Amino acid sequence: MSWSRRQRLRLVRGGVYAATITALVLILLVVDWGALGGALFKWGIVKDQFPDILTTALRNTVIFTIFGFAGGLSLGLLLAIMRLSGVRPYRWFAATYIEVLRGIPLLVTLLILGFGIPIATGWKWPNPYIQGSVPLALVAGAYIAETVRAGIEAVPRGQMEAARSLGMSYSRAMATIIIPQAFRIIVPPLTNEFVLLIKDTSLISVLGVTASTLDLARFGRNGVNDTANATPLVVAGLVYLALTVPLTQLAAWMERRSKAGRR
Amino acid sequence: MRIEALHKRFGSNHVLCGIDLYVTRGEVVCIIGPSGSGKSTLLRCVNMLETPSDGRVFVDGIELTDPDCDLDRARTSTGMVFQSFNLFAHMSVLDNITIALRKVLRQDRSAAEAKAQKLLTRVGLAEKATAYPAQLSGGQQQRVAIARALAMEPKVMLFDEATSALDPELVGDVLRVMRELAEEGMTMLVVTHEMDFARGVADRVVFMDSGAVVEEGHPDQVIGNPREERTKRFLANVRKRD
């Protein structure tokens, strides 16, 4: 053919646009919007979700997230320091832990710890919040450890050398010089970890929670059973978005700002 | 300060091949030589930022290479100034200077800050106490770094190419502070490319190449009238660059 490269590109792009518009028109024509709206977003059911979806479900999701994050952050910091330690067994332990807990799906870990351990040992979780938060924190710790490690490694080597040359011990230099700077670097990725955790709390519902410890996902699912309508799940999804979108935007903004600041 | 038969190997790379060096109290010794000659490594062995492969290092009568030596404590008697300043980026100038006083020497904040303020005045940056490193020029940062090292009242000051990362117009302020320090009788070991500084300030100049001391002596002799072929070649190259 005698078309130039640019002409060919323009032709391809035009084709893609045309196909997209055709598909959209077809969807608009084929779908029964009234029925779909009635099944997914029925106003009467939407109103029925409140206030419990906020006072119980959202509250529980936030509790699981905060416990999971606080535990995961402490554990992640500890694991990151072990991972970078000069002591080989510490390094091995941390590396193995991180590898194993990141390699197993959270759902499986939740079931093993939440159900398997009690069945195997006869020991019972003291309450559903702990039963849900502890496995979450143990897994979050493995992910956060890698984030923290990246942050520590991003602090220039000279900072440690300057601290040591002033007579600080390794651990004091870590605590006063390296880790504070590492945290500044990792606030955006940590915010993203936090968002992931918010969504991961939805898996805790497999542990069979009581009416007072329902999280957003389980609340929505129960609502579907009660109403024979998908609206409660859609509302739960919107509440998740109300939490996660501002946080991911915040993380993106912080990332842009820190990039600009480094210039 | 004394270095005996110091060796440093990085894998199969023999960086320091048996260095002997003696610096008496109040003496200023400048180490010159081509890049890769082991000058910085030697300096970093003096406060054990690099662990020597072999040999012994003494500072103020204490052997740092002794396995039983409390290195954290011993390092308080050597102040180090780095090519890249290495100020703590998350702390104000004042905190940079006082952090080790407070955390290592356990001085209370007000005493440490009074001392820091005095040192800042001495390096000409009294008004920058509350600034952060990123707000300062390279020359200002390096002078803060000198003040930070001096705060620990070290017996020896080590300068690792302290002016090499600076824009030419900022070098003078840093060299002036170093010169004043030398005049006050500080014991100094200075790795530098500033031949004029070495010639004017040093009591002794050491020329290193390929991990060994090739020539040492009075600056007028080593820089003005070198005996060794390698020294002559190096100095000729430096002058060509200028």
In the A/B pair of chains, how many CB contacts fall below 8 A?
62
Are the beta carbons of B86 and A161 separated by less than 8 Å?
Answer: yes
What was the pLDDT predicted at B94? 97
Tokens 């055709």, residue?
A22
Give B58's strand partners: B2, B63
pLDDT in tens, A58-98: 999 999 999 999 999 999 999 999 999 989 999 999 999 99
- Of B97, B84, B6, nearest in space to B43 by CA: B6
- The residue-averaged pLDDT of A144-150 equals 96
Are the beta carbons of A165 and B99 separated by less than 8 Å?
Answer: no
Mind telling me how many Å the CA of B160 is from chain A's nearest CA?
12
- The residue-averaged pLDDT of A132-157 equals 96
Per-residue confidence band for B239, with pLDDT thresholds at 50, 70 and 90: confident
pLDDT in tens, A175-219: 999 999 999 999 999 999 999 999 999 999 888 777 788 899 998
ipTM of model over 0.95: no
Distance CA B98, CA A231 (A): 61
pLDDT in tens, B3-31: 999 999 998 899 999 999 999 999 999 99
pLDDT in tens, B210-229: 999 999 999 999 999 999 99
Mind telling me how many Å the CA of A182 is from chain B's nearest CA?
10
Task: Determine the residue among A152, A157, A159, A166 to mutate to test chain B binding: the one whose Cβ has the most chain B Cβ atoms within 10 Å.
Answer: A166
Give B30's strand partners: B190, B205
**How many Cβ atoms sit within 10 Å of the Cβ of residue A120?**
9
CB A251 within 8 A of CB A186: no
**How many Cβ atoms sit within 10 Å of the Cβ of residue A106?**
20
Task: Please state, for a pLDDT cut of 70, what percent of chain B lies above it.
Answer: 100
Candidate CATH numbers 1.10.3720.10, 2.60.40.10, 3.10.180.10, 3.40.50.300; the one for domain A43-262: 1.10.3720.10
What was the pLDDT predicted at B215? 94
Per-residue confidence band for A263, with pLDDT thresholds at 50, 70 and 90: very low
Q: Is A186 on the interface with B (CB under 8 A)?
A: no
Whether the per-residue pLDDT at B131 is higher than 50: the answer is yes
Distance CA B90, CA B144 (A): 14
Output the pTM of the full model: 0.86
**What are the extents of the domains in chain A?**
43-262
Q: What sign for the dihedral angle of Cα A243, A244, A247, A253?
A: negative
Are the beta carbons of B103 and A163 separated by less than 8 Å?
Answer: no
Are the beta carbons of A181 and B90 separated by less than 8 Å?
Answer: yes
Measured between alpha carbons, how far is residue A203 from residues A63, A137, A199, A218, B81 in Å? 14, 13, 8, 9, 54
pLDDT in tens, A107-142: 999 999 998 999 999 898 888 899 999 999 999 999
Q: Which residues of A touch B90 (CB under 8 A)?
A: 180-181, 184
Whether the per-residue pLDDT at A163 is higher than 50: the answer is yes
CB A193 within 8 A of CB A142: no
Residues 6+ apart with CB under 8 A from A111: A206, A207
Cis peptide before A180 (omega within 30 of 0): no
Whether the per-residue pLDDT at B154 is higher than 90: the answer is yes
